[in-house]
Amino acid sequence: MTAFSLEPAQLAWCGELRALAAERLRPLAGKGEPGRVNRALLAELGALGLLPRLFTSGALELCLMRESLAHACTEAETALALQGLGAHPVHAHGTDAQRAHWLPRVAAGTAVAAFALTEPAAGSDAAALSLTATPAADGWRLSGEKCWISHAPEADFYTVFARTTPGAGARGVTAFLVPADRPGLTGTALDMLSPHPIGALAFDAVPVTADDVLGEVDRGFRVAMDTLNLFRPSVGAFAVGMAQAALDATLGHTARRDAFGGKLRDLQSVAHQVAEMALRTESARLMVYAAATAYDEGAPDVPRRSAMAKLLATETAQYVVDRAVQLHGARALQRGHLLEHLYREVRAPRIYEGASEVQRSIIAKELYKNLEDR
C-alpha cells in the first residue's frame, strides 16, 4: 500500500463507517443538547468499537475514521476525536496504572477525556504556558487558568500542561493527568459556536503527585507535540470529510437545478467552480494520507508534513464549503440545511491545534532547519 492508494478493504471500511454514521450516530447526535457532552453518542461510539480503535490504530486509520464520520455526522467525528486527543497522552506516555484506570472507560465512552493546553495568554504559543506547578511536600500545586478547552467543564479527566521550571520555555513544562474531581479545580462553560462544550478551567492550588505525571517532569512539551503531530493530519481528515460532503451536495444540486434554459451544471462558470472544488478536495486528501503514512512509518519530517496537511485541508474545506453555499444560494443558509451546518463547523479547525498562521511558521522553521543540516 502507498500513501496515495487505499486497499479495497480500506475503501469498504470507509463506506461502512459512513453508513454507520448516517444510520446509527446521526440520530443520536440530533438528540444532543448543544454545548453539552453527548454521552449517549459517546457510548454508541464505544459500542460500535470505534473508540477502542483510538488506541490500536495508526495515523492513517485514524484519518480514515475521522474523514468517514465527518462526511455523515460531524458531531460523531468530533466526539471521537476529542476522546482521542485527551486520552492519547495517557495511552502513549502514561503509567500502567494510569492506562488501566482510564483507557477502558474512555474506550467504552463512559469517561470523557480533555486536552488542556491553551491558556488565555498562551494559545498557539504553547511554550509560553504560565499555569504554574509549585513544588509541595507530596508533589506540586497547580495554579492558573486554561481556556477554550473542548469538553470542559464536563470532562472526567484532563491532560494538563503546566510549568514546572520557570524561565525554561518549552523545556520546563510537565504533563499531568488531573481527574475532574480534584480539590481546587473548577470550570466554566463558554458560549461558543460549537455543538460540544468548550470551557475555561481555574486551578486553585490543585494537588498533583508524581503518580499523575505523564511522561517525565519538564518533558511535557514533547508529550504535547507528539499528540499534535498525530492529530493534526487527522484534523485535516475531518476537514476533507466536510469538503467532500459539501462537494457531493453541490454535484447533486447543480445537476438537478433548472437555470437559464438548462441545468446549473451546464453553465461553464458553475462547472469550473465544481471542478476546482473537486481538485482542491482531492489534493488535500492526498496530502493528509501522505502525512499520516509518514507518521506511521516514523519519518523524520513528520512535523512539517503534519503542519502542511492540516493547513491545506482546513483552508481547502473553508473554500469548498463557501463555494457550495454560493452555488446553492439562499436555501443553504436555512437553519438545518447540511451546508448551514457545515458552514458553522468548518471555521474552527483553521484555529484549533495550531492556527493556520502557526502551521505556516512550523513549515518554514522545518524547511530552514533542513537547509542548515545539509
Catalytic machinery residues:
353
Q: Residue 105 has which C-alpha cell?
A: 472507560
Evaluate the omega torsion of the peptide bond into residue 153 and state whether it is cis, within 30 degrees of 0: yes
Contact 263, 322 (CB under 8 A): no
- C-alpha distances (whole Å) from 177 to each of 170, 184, 223, 256 are 19, 15, 12, 53
Q: Which residues pair with 201 in a beta bridge?
A: 146, 187
Report d(CA 44, CA 141) in Å as an integer.
Answer: 37
- C-alpha distances (whole Å) from 246 to each of 49, 92, 327 are 27, 35, 11
- C-alpha distances (whole Å) from 281 to each of 22, 44, 173, 245, 330 are 21, 29, 37, 10, 24
At 232, give phi and psi (nearest 5°): -60, -45
Q: Which residues pair with 178 in a beta bridge?
A: 158
Cell 474545506 locates to 317
Cell 484519518 locates to 63
CA 37 to chain centre: 16
